[in-house]
Amino acid sequence: MPLARPARAAVLLAAGSLLLTSCGGTASTDAKAAVTLTNCGHEVRVKAPPRHAVSLNQGTTEILLSLGLADRLAGTATWTDPVMKGLEKDEAEAPRIAENNPSFERVLDTEPDFVAASFVSTLGKGGVATREQFEKLGVPTYVSPSDCAGKDNSGGGDGERDKALGIDTVYGEVRDLATVFGVKERGDALVASLRQRMKKATAGTDASDVTLLYWFANSDSPYMAGCCGAPGIITRALGAKNVFDDTHEEWPQINWETVADRDPDVLVIGDLTRKSQTAESAAKKIAFLESNPVTRNMDAVRHKRYVLLSGQAMNPTIRTVEGVEQVAAGLRRFGLVK
């Protein structure tokens, strides 16, 4: 492919004068707004705030939109849900270059000066392209620290965590991106708002006697949440217990007999709009649960104790806070919190 398009981005790179950790931190920028940060084992150098960025996953896109950066986005991709409420107008301003993973060439066609993603697999082998491929063309890249901090992505599936993910890592991503784009104050304000929402959602909530199960997608070989990803943040915030907290896999595929045997009090169900798996929408999931002979006699199914979440709320994103709010509201509605 011709190198003329990304060549414009190459001039934006230089040795930066700012050093941050991948979880964010206090910092100041110099007159040229140069930034250098360490992110998922990569040194990211940005000479000036990006003006023509591409976000390859919805979670990262919603952070950038929440920071008021719609006019800096040259493209977005990989959507599982409608955009977060309140961001519809901003999202409409940013070109959607693909519903799923775009090709490397399609991303380069936008002449990006920065590329961000929520998952290591998006900017890795088998994804859009590797980080090295972009960096060789002078385009800096960033991956959500939530997908690499304390997590091993070298095996199959969605990776495995050796320690539980904390919401502060999500806040760190907000601060990282706000600093890169030269809007640090907006990042601080967004984190403060998210913290306040978490505090309000969990105030006076004791769900220590409640068991939960999180079903993301697929009815044939269902993806259920393990202990330590975004659902773990929700579960711990409410003091509840995930019936599959004995696995460190992010989203293990578990047979229905085992699910029925664990018999959780509440089913937290992903309500996705994509069509890449079986039973993506909550309606299809519930129809399956109530008709399948293995699951229809589960306590949560018989009493219709369902909490519906967007796919993004079940991933480590700013919408994980939305997940805490909605699960807390559901437990109160079912009379299960003390």
Over residues 123-153, the pLDDT tens digits come to 999 999 999 999 999 999 999 999 999 999 9
Residues near 89 by beta carbon (within 8 Å), at least 6 away in sequence: none
Task: Give the Cα separation of 102 and 239 in Å (integer).
Answer: 40
Question: Above 80 in pLDDT, residue 8?
Answer: no
Q: What is the pLDDT of residues 22-50, one digit of tens each?
A: 444 334 344 357 999 999 999 999 999 99
- Beta carbons of 178 and 186 less than 8 angstroms apart: yes
Question: Above 70 in pLDDT, residue 10?
Answer: no
Mean pLDDT of the chain: 90
Of 193-202, 216-225, 265-274, 275-284, the range with the lowest mean pLDDT is: 275-284
Tell me how crowded residue 45 is: count the other CB atoms within 10 A of its CB.
Answer: 17
Task: Give the Cα separation of 293 and 336 in Å (integer).
Answer: 26
Using pLDDT thresholds of 50, 70 and 90, give the confidence band for residue 112: very high
Task: Give the Cα separation of 119 and 161 in Å (integer).
Answer: 14
Predicted TM-score (pTM) of this structure:
0.88
The one-character DSSP state at 102 is: P
Alpha helices in the chain (DSSP H): 4-10, 58-66, 88-93, 104-109, 131-136, 167-180, 184-202, 230-238, 256-262, 282-291, 299-302, 320-333
User: Which domains are delineated in the chain?
Assistant: 4-196 (3.40.50.1980), 206-333 (3.40.50.1980)
Provide the 3-class DSSP secondary structure of residue 6.
helix
% residues pLDDT > 70 (the chain): 91
